[in-house]
Structure 1
Amino acid sequence: MDKHQIGVNAGKVWQLLNDNKRWSYCDLKIASELSDRDLNAAIGWLARENKIDFECSGGDDCLFLSVNVYIG
C-alpha cells in the first residue's frame, strides 16, 4: 500500500459518505469493498484532513462528512 492508493481509497469512501447519512463501519466496509486495513487507512486520511466526524451511539460507531463553514 502506498500514499497514492490510500488517497484513492479515501476518495472512494468520500463518495459513499457524500449521501449525507451516517454510515456504520460495517456498512461502509461492505459498500466500499475495501479490506479492514485499506478502509482504516482511508478513514485515517479523511480524519486527518478533518473531512469526517464520528458518532458513537448504542455501541455502534458511525461516520459522516464534517461540514466546515468558513466565513471571512
Structure 2
Amino acid sequence: MSEIVGNTAGEIWKYLDKNGATTIAKLTRETKIDEKNIQRGIGWLAQEGKVSLEIVNRAETISLT
C-alpha cells in the first residue's frame, strides 16, 4: 500500500509542477487516480511540506510550496 501512495504522491507532484495550482476535483479527474489514493498522496506530500492546501471560492485547492 505504501508503494501505491508513494507513486500517487509522485504523480500529484508531477501534475502540479507542470500545471500549477488546481482543485482536488480537477486533479482527480485529470489524473484518473482514485479519490482515496489522491487524498493519501496529498497527505504524504503535506507531511513532507511539499504542498499547500487552501480553500478558494469554496473549492479545495492544492499547489506546490
Fold shared, TM-score > 0.5 on shorter chain: yes
Q: Which has the larger radius of gyration?
A: 1
Alpha-carbon displacement from aligned partner over 1:27-51 (angstroms, at most 9, x marks no partner): 1001111111111110000001000
Larger % of helix: which? 2
Q: Which residue of structure 1 lines up, in the alignment, with residue 5 of structure 2?
A: 6
> Following the alignment from structure 1 to structure 2, what is the Cα–Cα distance between the partners of residues 33 and 40?
13
Q: How does 1:1-72 map to 2 (within 5 A)?
A: 2-19=1-18, 21-66=20-65
Identify unmatched segments of 5+ residues in structure 1: 67-72
Cα drift, residue 16 of structure 1: 0.2
Identify unmatched segments of 5+ residues in structure 2: none
Please report the TM-score for the alignment, with normalisation by the length of structure 2: 0.91
Structure 1 residue runs of 4+, over 6 Å off? none
Q: Aligned letter for 2:11?
A: K
Of all paired residues, the percent bearing the same amino acid is: 25
Q: In the superposition, relative to structure 1, how do residues 33 and 20 fare at CA in structure 2: closer, same or farther (>3 Å)?
A: closer
Q: Between Structure 1 and Structure 2, how many residues are aligned?
A: 65
Please report the TM-score for the alignment, with normalisation by the length of structure 1: 0.83
Cα drift, residue 20 of structure 1: 5.5
Q: Higher relative contact order by CA 8 Å / sep ≥ 6: 1 or 2?
A: 2
